[in-house]
């Protein structure tokens, strides 16, 4: 019988990238596979939301380009909350350009994502150059990259041979690529890529704009490591209720962990 330590230690050993190990260690420490997608558009509400759900998550996902009053104090405060609550920061930037351009987009501009986001992600579409461009900036800073191998939205073109080519690309860059945004386990046990799955909800099946939701149990059964939940926890920003967000986060944390612990016999 494998112990809880055994399961995580085994997986941690297989990771070449330090941030991949940090994610697994955080999941183990907090007994949470929950990443909250904090898609609020003002600094004050975003930080209050993150402080409210922070105790229940292993990770917080951001879209910094939707924040109207973005400034560098925001990322300083996000880093403080990350240390306070012990979570990893994932900027969901979805880079999609040639290597030279993405290296500039990652390091520079208003957001300087590489300076504060532990993890970011990229489409495999442009070919290996996108990984090389991001790696040039992020590797020395100890960052990790996820490739978008699949998407949760209806009609996604990231399927079949595109998904398989994304896995092959990740295998060529194991020092920096830690896993995938995907709807199911990809790669084999020798790879041990992290699988992060958006499109997770307990109460509704869609949002009327193409998003498709499955339950934490369903995505864990499909082999995910981290469930990404946005509006199912945060509700709408206009009627933001931070106590409700905290209790919903706890509900999703428990549902996810129960399924994960049972699947992996923890």
Q: Could you list the residues that contact ligand 5FU (CB under 6 A)?
A: 37, 39, 63, 92, 148, 151-153, 181, 198-199, 207, 211, 228-232
94 carries an active-site annotation: yes
**Beta carbon nearer to ligand 5FU, 8 or 59:** 59
Name the residue with the smallest CB distance to ligand 5FU. 230
92 carries an active-site annotation: yes
State in angstroms the smallest separation of the CB of 226 from ligand 5FU: 12
- How far is Cα 153 from Cα 184, in angstroms, rounded to an integer? 14
For residue 10, the surrounding DSSP H or E stretch is helix 4-13
- Is 160 annotated as a binding-site member? no
- Is 152 annotated as a binding-site member? yes
Closest CA to 91 of 110, 243, 187: 110
Q: Which of 18, 43, 48, 94 is flagged as catalytic?
A: 94
**Beta carbon nearer to ligand 5FU, 179 or 198:** 198
- How far is Cα 229 from Cα 58, in angstroms, rounded to an integer? 12
- Is 39 annotated as a binding-site member? yes
- Is 61 annotated as a binding-site member? yes
- Is 86 annotated as a binding-site member? no
- How far is Cα 19 from Cα 251, in angstroms, rounded to an integer? 27
**Beta carbon nearer to ligand 5FU, 13 or 157:** 157
- CB distance 37 to 198 below 8 Å: yes
Q: Which of 51, 86, 97, 115 is flagged as catalytic?
A: 97
Dump the DSSP string for 230-258: SHHHH--GGG--HHHHHHHHHHHHHHHHH
**Beta carbon nearer to ligand 5FU, 212 or 254:** 212
97 carries an active-site annotation: yes
Q: How many CB atoms lie within 10 A of CB 181?
A: 26
By CB atoms closer than 10 A (0-12, 13-18, 19+), residue 15 is buried
| Residue numbers annotated as active site | 92, 94, 97
Binding residues: 39, 61, 152, 211, 230-231
Q: Please state the residue numbers annotated as binding site for substrate.
A: 39, 61, 152, 211, 230-231
């Amino acid at each position: 019988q494998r112990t809880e330590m055994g399961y995580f230690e085994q997986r941690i050993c297989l990771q070449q990238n330090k941030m991949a190990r940090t994610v697994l260690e955080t999941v183990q420490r907090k007994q949470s596979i929950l990443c909250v997608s904090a898609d609020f558009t003002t600094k004050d509400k975003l930080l209050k939301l993150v402080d409210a759900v922070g105790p229940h998550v292993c990770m917080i996902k951001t879209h910094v380009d939707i924040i109207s009053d973005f400034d560098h104090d925001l990322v300083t405060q996000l880093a403080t909350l990350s240390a306070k609550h012990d979570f990893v920061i994932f900027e969901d930037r979805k880079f999609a350009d040639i290597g030279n351009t993405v290296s500039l987009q990652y390091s520079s501009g208003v957001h300087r994502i590489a300076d504060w986001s532990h993890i970011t992600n990229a489409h495999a579409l442009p070919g290996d150059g996108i990984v090389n461009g991001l790696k040039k900036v992020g590797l020395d800073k100890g960052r990790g990259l996820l490739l978008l191998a699949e998407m949760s939205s209806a009609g996604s073109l990231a399927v079949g041979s595109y998904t398989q080519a994304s896995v092959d690309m990740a295998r060529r860059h194991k020092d920096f690529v830690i896993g995938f945004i995907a709807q199911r386990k990809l790669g084999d046990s020798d790879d041990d890529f992290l699988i992060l799955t958006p499109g997770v909800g307990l109460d509704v099946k869609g949002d009327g704009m193409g998003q498709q939701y499955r339950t934490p149990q369903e995505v864990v059964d499909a082999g995910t490591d981290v469930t990404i939940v946005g509006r199912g926890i945060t509700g709408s920003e206009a009627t933001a209720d931070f106590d409700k967000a905290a209790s919903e986060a706890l509900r999703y944390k428990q549902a996810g962990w129960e399924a994960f612990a049972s699947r992996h016999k923890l």
